[in-house]
Amino acid sequence: MFFLSRLDVDRRISQMRKELEERGIQEELRGWNWSNPPVSPPLKEMSLSVSELASRYCPTMRDIYLRRVRFVRPPPSIKMARGIAFHKISHDCLIDVKRMIYSSENLSGSLVVEKLLPKSGERAEEALRDAESRTMELGQQDRQILFRECDNLYKFLIIQAASQIDQAMSKFPHAGPDSIASIAIPPVAERKVDGTLVGLSSELSVDLYAPANMVIDLKTGEVRKFHPYTAAGYALAIEAHESVPVNFGLIIYLKFEGRDVPSIRTKYFLVGDEIRREFLEIRDEAFQLILSGRDPGKPSFCPDYCPYYGVC
């Protein structure tokens, strides 16, 4: 998360607050309205993950039929492995930097670089092992490419963190470790949320930009129009579980495009009425499909990037 400028994030949130004031969000579409339609789930004894609902590669929802009725898992792929590996690198980098902030007597950005940059290969190997254990054993060429990407991503994040730490210490020379951590590291927290009240999984993991309760999702593939559905699902779950409003979403697109420095793109948006209604309609349709056990059939066109493309 170190590649996000806090000033830029706060500025974008301020802009979205104006949009929220103009458009508003209907009370009936808030997650805390879980006992009434349209938020109340069709069945209390069934729950679905946010990702399987939000990932609308297949317009007929045959992917949900295959997974939930036929119990067919999508074949593992390098794309899945890359997503898992990049998430682990981001998490491990955050932990390593926080540990240094709290344990170093003479903290500086150069010390962070000196101590943590040599760990990049080790962290990359750990990320690959984690990805392979959850997907498949990678071929030699794919493994080499992904190792290099993970190695470079860790280095990139460490350098960003070191710069933020130096800026914080330069501006506040008498600040303690807690203050430096809060200033240098974006206030993004992983929160466990029970989504069962709105028909979602009981242990969701959500990244939140704490000051504004903005849902953040990291994507490592191409931009897809259905990606904001993920934020809608998480927003409904948090509102149901914690009774706090979640109004904003952010998708971070991370990929390597022929260079050793990653490409970072961001998409900010209001988690408004339209996206909430569409997500709830997808959820209800998925419930009915599973209950009927009927094969919805293939769509007229199957995108080759669908995880179930090779199955169908």
Confidence of residue 183 (pLDDT cuts 50, 70, 90): confident
Quick check: 308 pLDDT over 80?
A: yes
Task: Identify the DSSP state of 269.
Answer: E
Distance (Å, rounded) from C-alpha 38 to C-alpha 161? 43
Strand partners, 254: 264
* Residue 74, phi-psi category: left (phi > 0), alpha (psi -120 to 50), beta (remainder): beta
Phi and psi at residue 207, to the nearest 5°: -90, 125
pLDDT band at 146 (very low <50, low <70, confident <90, very high): very high
pTM for the predicted model, two decimal places: 0.92
Tens digits of residue pLDDT in 28-65: 999 999 999 999 999 888 999 999 999 999 999 999 99
Q: Based on the number of CB atoms within 10 Å of its own CB, is 156 exposed (0-12), middle (13-18) or buried (19 or more)?
A: buried
> Given pLDDT bands bounded at 50, 70 and 90, which one contains residue 2?
low
The encoded tokens of residue 2 equal: 């170190």
Q: Is the pLDDT of residue 1 over 70?
A: no
Residue 78 pLDDT level (bands cut at 50, 70, 90)? very high
Q: If pLDDT is split at 50, 70 and 90, which confidence band does 210 have?
A: confident
The CA distance from 261 to 42, in Å, is: 46
Interval 57-74 mean pLDDT: 95
Cross-strand partners of 193: 204
CA distances (Å), 146 to each of 10, 83, 85, 154, 291, in order? 33, 10, 8, 12, 40
Contact 270, 19 (CB under 8 A): yes
Close Cβ partners of 229 (under 8 Å, ≥ 6 residues apart): 53, 54, 56, 275, 278, 279, 282
Write down the mean pLDDT value for the chain: 94
Read off the tokens for 3. 């590649």
190: confidence class by pLDDT, cuts 50, 70, 90: confident
pLDDT digits (tens, 9 = 90+) for 229-247: 999 999 999 999 999 999 9
Q: What is the mean pLDDT of residues 263-272?
A: 95
Domains of the chain (ranges, CATH numbers)? 6-72+187-292 (3.90.320), 78-184 (no CATH)
Structure tokens at 225: 């129009």
Are β-strands 214-219 and 204-209 bridged in parallel, bridged antiparallel, or unpaired? Answer: antiparallel
Q: Are 153 and 89 in contact (CB under 8 A)?
A: yes
